[in-house]
Amino acid sequence: MAWKEWPVAEQRLVLVHRVLKFKQSVSSVARELGVSRKTAYKWIARHREDPLAKLEDRSRRPKRSPRRSGAGVEAAVVAVHDEHRWGARKIHRVLRDRGQTVPSLRTCASILKRHDRVGKTRSEDDAATVRFERSKPNQLWQLDHKGAVEIGRRRYMPLAVLDDHSRYCLCFSALPDVTMPTTWSML
């Protein structure tokens, strides 16, 4: 049997209709649906305000934020970032040295995040990722010494050799060291 998904807005509508249309008690319906009576009364009141509106969660964002940084401060932080591609710490220092109104370091970081100025590096913006791969086997091998492991109370350095075209592991051996003569003898 497949699982049935029951959206929360529909559950709230069922609660309201069972109470208002079918005249069931709020306590029994709330108990059956796993919500408190206070919550049930909240959804009933919201339905009475606007019967055509969906019973979804409302935004909890405040209507006003009196302590939020001013537009001029935000513009200064963004302008310094766009000019030099610096992070919050350096921007905070530069604005303080210029004698401008300086928000805290954390506020600088929040401003950059709010304006989508963090998360990407310049190389990600400028160049697309290009995967290299040889067209034929044995044109290029990739060698990698892994971290040290202990085998029989002796320390070894594993060597992995991959063919770049097929990604086939040609060799995976435990070597006593990572010197050129030892590695070359394995190849």
- What separation in angstroms does the CA of 80 have from each of 75, 93, 135, 140, 156? 9, 11, 46, 45, 51
Alpha-carbon distance 26 to 17, whole Å? 11
Average confidence (pLDDT) over 154-165: 92
Residue matched to tokens 């796993």: 34
Q: Pick from 123, 169, 178, 168: which is nearest to 147 by CA?
A: 178
Q: Is the pLDDT of residue 100 over 70?
A: yes
Q: Is the pLDDT of residue 106 over 70?
A: yes
Q: Pick from 129, 61, 73: which is nearest to 98 by CA?
A: 73
Q: Is the pLDDT of residue 94 over 60?
A: yes
Q: Is the pLDDT of residue 51 over 70?
A: yes
Q: How confident is the model at residue 1 (pLDDT cuts 50, 70, 90)?
A: very low
| pLDDT (tens digit per residue) in 70-87 | 899 999 999 999 999 999
- Helix, strand, coil percentages, rounded to 5, for the chain: 45, 15, 45
| Per-range mean pLDDT, top range of 21-30, 67-76, 140-149, 177-186 | 21-30
For residues 128 and 20, which has the higher predicted lDDT (pLDDT)?
20
Alpha-carbon distance 40 to 45, whole Å? 9
Phi, psi of 151 (to 5 degrees): -130, 120
- Global confidence as pTM: 0.43
